[in-house]
Amino acid sequence: MSTIEEATEAHADGVAAVFAPYVTGSVVTFETVPPTAEQWRAKIRESRLPFLVLTEADAVLGYALATPWRPKPAYRHTVETTIYLAPEATGRGHGRRLLDELLKRCADQGARQAIAVVVDSGSPASRNLHRAAGFIDAGVLRGVGFKQDRWLDTLLLQRALG
């Protein structure tokens, strides 16, 4: 049985393991070097917004976190969401559960808007997940990323909270 809980520094190795293959083997993130477990520990420690992990038998199967959308004070009620699942956790409803819980906790902390920046890589999984969770299309940024020898667009998706 899987559980969703607030990330702790003890989850950092698992979070790093989930994210690294996306960095090295796909274009769904614009990162080019996987963050180390120590970098994830620092991010978990410093996070003031929800940072959740999906675990099963003490293994991290995925994570979702919120970060400030922009640093200017007027944006303080808007968050950017991030979600990644290990390949063995996809297609089982875990992504939706994790994203729904993240959005609930963001709203509980006073967030009013959530933004998702999804790389338009031809794979619809993330876009479909966000749309199923109530996000609507807010725009396209064309050719803003270059990875694996190609230019990539990002889709901006937005959802009102609370």
Q: Please report the pLDDT score of residue 111 as a whole number.
A: 98
**Domains of the chain, earliest start first:** 2-160 (3.40.630.30)
What pLDDT does residue 123 have?
Answer: 77
pLDDT score, position 81: 98
Regions of the chain short of the pLDDT cut 50: none
- Output the pLDDT for position 87: 93
**Tell me, what's the pLDDT at 160?**
98
Measured CA to CA, the distance from residue 22 to residue 35 in angstroms comes to 11
C-alpha 90/C-alpha 108 separation (Å) is 27
Q: How long is the chain?
A: 162
Picking from 154, 153, 146, 119, the residue whose alpha carbon sits closest to that of residue 32 is 146
Residues 6+ apart with CB under 8 A from 153: 119, 120, 140, 141, 142, 143, 144, 145
What's the pLDDT score for residue 162? 82
Amino acid identity for residue 3 in this structure: T
pLDDT given at position 85: 97
**Adjacency order of strands within the sheet including 136-147:** 2-6, 51-56, 59-68, 78-85, 113-120, 150-160, 136-147
Q: How many CA atoms lie within 13 A of 53 on its CB side?
A: 23
Which pTM value belongs to this model?
0.96
